[in-house]
Structure 1
Amino acid sequence: MRRRAGLALLVGLTACAPPRSPANLEPAAAGGAYQAQYRDPERPREAQPLLRSAQMNAARCLPFAGGAGDGSGGKLGGRAPASLRGELLSRGDLLDLRLPEDETFTDEYVVSRDGTLKLPYLTPIPAQGRSTRDVMGAIRSGLVDGGFYTEDPTVSLLVEDFAAARVAISGAVFEPKTADIGGVPGDQVDVRRQGALGDSTEGRNISVALRAAGGVRPDADLSAVRLTRGGTNYRLDLRGALEGRSFDDVMLISGDEVHVPTRDCFQDWMLAPGPISPPGVSLYLSNLTQPATGNAPSAIGQTVRQVPYGTRFMQAVVDSNCVGGARATSAHRSAALFSRNPVTKVSVVIERGIEDMRARAERDDYDPYLLPGDAIACYDSTITNITEVGRVLGIVGAVTLLK
């Protein structure tokens, strides 16, 4: 009986021992991982000037490939070339062509898979990547060259429906992929718009494509986003999307390729909601005093909690109900952040004492920003742990006495 009681006591004391520090492959403790905010808090005697994590992050940045700019619209990329501006046609777009008192050519047409507009008796007319104005000019020329008109006829060409465009997004985005952007699902069709002549869409803009790929990462170089169309490369400056300035949110067509380069560093200023940022962070949480007996009673569901992009570790800890309560039993909790470097794909674990973080004036230096897919686990205080050990020892003792 004594042996069993001693074994139970040993188990209880082992449970009270401090947890092992996570063995991170990247030098997170020294600030060498994705964010400088991952590093361990310094001791007071080693304290350095406050709030230097942003400078530590910026020290590793490559220069902006598109130029640093002066903040006044100078060399901040300027305007996109004229060939990229305006509404451009893509395969699958539905067009309404009308010629007065002409039933042969007046009809509805779809831009073919090969990017051409096929009218009866005429050579296919290139339409992919062109404006309706340019295509109308080509139609007039084709009708005259084909002998159907002796002079340029009056032509009306309107877009009735913009189809979805399939584009490829790569580089410094959270989910590189090929995505279909634009188009309207059948259950969301606006009947009045469908019945009207003409159409307009924002669903094929480059900002929509970047969001479809999970949004740009904090290491992205937005000064030189590359758009490849028909073998030609264009460089776009999208910094205005996160700086409150206008930017050319160009319309994409099927076959476009978008590549976001990296500056090889973490940029704090990019951690803010915007048209090209992740729509939010799906956060995985664990905050259980005792192991769960099932998902339903523990409020664990398939969808995890959403927090705004730009949320910090401590904000999420508060949101997950890990902070506060009776100081005698609830203080000195800790929380662990499980993250992954989106560049190297190496995982990292960051653990913080909640009360220590609460009391530190420079906590922002050690308070990481959350990234998509991060997870948080909360651990109870020493008092709660001892209480649990006492409960277990009490149960063991009672069982022993019964025997």
Structure 2
Amino acid sequence: MRITRTILLGSCLGLTVGCGPAPTPDNLPPVRSGGAYQAQYRDLSSDDERMLLSARMNAEGCRGAGGLSDGKYGGPPSGLGGERLSRGDLVDLRVEDDEIFNGDYVVSRDGTIKPPFLPAIPAQGRRPAEIEAALVRALLDGDFYDEAPRVSVRLADFASASVGVSGAVFEPHAVEIGAASAESRDSLRQAALGASTEARNLSAAIRAAGGIRPDADLSAVELHRAGSRHVLDLRGVFEGRRAEDVMLLSGDEVIVPSRQCFQDDLMRPGPLSPPGVSLFLSNLTQPATGNAVSAIGREVREMPWGTRFMQAVVDTNCVGGARATSAHRSAVLFTRDPVTGVSVVIERNIEQMLRRADRDDYDPFLLPGDSIACYDSSITNLAEVAGVVAAVGTATALTR
């Protein structure tokens, strides 16, 4: 009996000790001093003078913009604008009063159009007017006409394009853009001459690669096409300015450079931003008994791009409730530096964050794939310990 009581007392003391504050999570990056991917990750300061410094701290590590430095936004380089053909595009080709060459043609895998009795006509990356001129020359060189005939080359339908996207995007990989599903096809448009699409634009490719990271340099986005390198300035899309969204071709490669710093002004929805953030959640045991009753998805929850940590904490039912038992909760954010791939864990005392006037300075933006876990208050922990002690005491009494 004495041994059983000793074990019970030791168990109770051990459980009570477990109610003490947990140590601050350790990290390889210099998180506590503000040297991590976001300065908002750093530890809460106890200084009386409270100011919003995170945006300035983030900007201090920025490399210079690789594009124009005079504040002006450049248009697309010559050779990129307008309607250009790519492999797989459907073309309506007509030669006046000639049934031999009239018809629908698909730009072949080698990037050419192949009319009968004529050499293949290069089409990849060319405008319809350039193909018309090449077709007239081929007809004259082949002695089909003594004088230049009137010809027409019109795009009837755009094919999808396979392009590579790398650099400061969340999911760098080769993407397929511009493919239209059977449900989205319009029979009237299919029967009409001409074609139009926004699904093969540069912005669509960047979004398909997960969207830009907050460290992206939008002033110098590179487009590599047919051995040539073009530099595009896309900063205007986040400032309400009109930006030329060039159409991409199969075989293009897009590289988004990095400024090696976190840019707060890129954490807002835009044409190049991620569609949102998928969070992995783990909520409290008290007062909710599970995620389902708290209206939290079984695994993840979708949140808008630009959501902050404390907004997600509220969304996971970690804030509020009975003040006497629910105060002094804490929340943990598990994230990963998208540049280095190194994980970072930070913990915030929820009540302390709510009370601080400079709470925004320590409230990080959420990134795709982040995880959030909430811990109950010390009073709830003690109640749990009491329940365990009572259960152990009951079991001891039964063994007498």
TM-score range, shorter chain: over 0.9
Match of 1:60 in 2: 61
Match of 1:205 in 2: 201
For the residue of structure 2 that corresponds to 1:248, the secondary structure is: coil
In 2, are the aligned partners of 1:337 and 1:351 still within 8 Å (CA)?
yes
Q: CA deviation at 1:17?
A: 2.1
Instruction: Give the Cα–Cα distance (whole angstroms) in 1 for the partners of residues 24 and 258 of structure 2.
Output: 31
1:76-122 per-residue CA deviation (whole Å, 9 max, x = no partner) reads 2x211231001110000011112232110001100010111111111
Question: Which deviates more from structure 2 when the two are superposed, residues 276-285 or residues 193-202?
Answer: 193-202
State which of 39, 42, 47 in structure 2 corresponds to 1:39. 42
The residue type equivalent to 1:114 in the other structure is: D
1:275-295 per-residue CA deviation (whole Å, 9 max, x = no partner) reads 101010001111031799998
Match of 2:26 in 1: 23
State which of 15, 28, 49 in structure 2 corresponds to 1:12. 15
Instruction: Give the Cα–Cα distance (whole angstroms) in 2 for the partners of residues 119 and 6 of structure 1.
Output: 92
Match of 1:92 in 2: 88
For the residue of structure 2 that corresponds to 1:350, the secondary structure is: strand
Large movers: runs of 4+ above 6 Å? 290-300
In 2, are the aligned partners of 1:338 and 1:374 still within 8 Å (CA)?
yes
In 1, are the aligned partners of 2:284 and 2:290 still within 8 Å (CA)?
no
In 1, are the aligned partners of 2:77 and 2:232 still within 8 Å (CA)?
no
State which of 109, 123, 128 in structure 1 corresponds to 2:124. 128
Q: CA deviation at 1:299?
A: 6.4
1:267 partnered with 2:273: no
Instruction: Give the Cα–Cα distance (whole angstroms) in 1 for the partners of residues 223 and 290 of structure 2.
Output: 49
Match of 2:103 in 1: 107
RMSD: 1.9
Q: CA deviation at 1:301?
A: 5.0
For the residue of structure 2 that corresponds to 1:183, the secondary structure is: coil
Q: CA deviation at 1:67?
A: 2.6
Q: Percent identity?
A: 60
Relative to 1, partners in 2 of residues 1:381 and 1:35: Cα closer, same or farther, differing over 3 Å? same
The residue type equivalent to 1:66 in the other structure is: G
In 1, are the aligned partners of 2:202 and 2:245 still within 8 Å (CA)?
yes
For the residue of structure 2 that corresponds to 1:343, the secondary structure is: coil
The residue type equivalent to 1:378 in the other structure is: C
Instruction: Give the Cα–Cα distance (whole angstroms) in 1 for the partners of residues 308 and 291 of structure 2.
Output: 27
Question: Which deviates more from structure 2 when the two are superposed, residues 17-26 or residues 83-92?
Answer: 17-26
Relative to 1, partners in 2 of residues 1:356 and 1:291: Cα closer, same or farther, differing over 3 Å? closer
For the residue of structure 1 that corresponds to 2:189, the secondary structure is: helix
For the residue of structure 2 that corresponds to 1:29, the secondary structure is: coil
The residue type equivalent to 1:7 in the other structure is: G
The residue type equivalent to 2:360 in the other structure is: D
For the residue of structure 2 that corresponds to 1:104, the secondary structure is: strand
Instruction: Give the Cα–Cα distance (whole angstroms) in 2 for the partners of residues 22 and 294 of structure 1.
Output: 25
Q: Report how many residues are paired.
A: 396
Q: CA deviation at 1:181?
A: 0.6
1:192-228 per-residue CA deviation (whole Å, 9 max, x = no partner) reads 2222222111011000010011001111110001100
Q: CA deviation at 1:298?
A: 7.7
Relative to 1, partners in 2 of residues 1:115 and 1:291: Cα closer, same or farther, differing over 3 Å? farther
1:312 partnered with 2:308: yes
Structure 2 residues not aligned, in runs of 5+: none
After superposition, residues 173-188 of structure 1 pair within 5 angstroms as: 173-188=169-184
Q: CA deviation at 1:297?
A: 7.0
Structure 1 residues not aligned, in runs of 5+: none
The residue type equivalent to 1:108 in the other structure is: D
Instruction: Give the Cα–Cα distance (whole angstroms) in 2 for the partners of residues 301 and 277 of structure 1.
Output: 24
TM-score, normalising length: structure 1: 0.94
After superposition, residues 374-393 of structure 1 pair within 5 angstroms as: 374-393=370-389
For the residue of structure 2 that corresponds to 1:103, the secondary structure is: strand
The residue type equivalent to 1:64 in the other structure is: A
1:214-248 per-residue CA deviation (whole Å, 9 max, x = no partner) reads 00111111000110001100000011111211111
In 1, are the aligned partners of 2:286 and 2:380 still within 8 Å (CA)?
no
Q: CA deviation at 1:356?
A: 0.5
For the residue of structure 2 that corresponds to 1:357, the secondary structure is: helix
Instruction: Give the Cα–Cα distance (whole angstroms) in 1 for the partners of residues 187 and 347 of structure 2.
Output: 54
Instruction: Give the Cα–Cα distance (whole angstroms) in 1 for the partners of residues 297 and 330 of structure 2.
Output: 24
Instruction: Give the Cα–Cα distance (whole angstroms) in 1 for the partners of residues 133 and 323 of structure 2.
Output: 77
In 1, are the aligned partners of 2:320 and 2:326 still within 8 Å (CA)?
yes
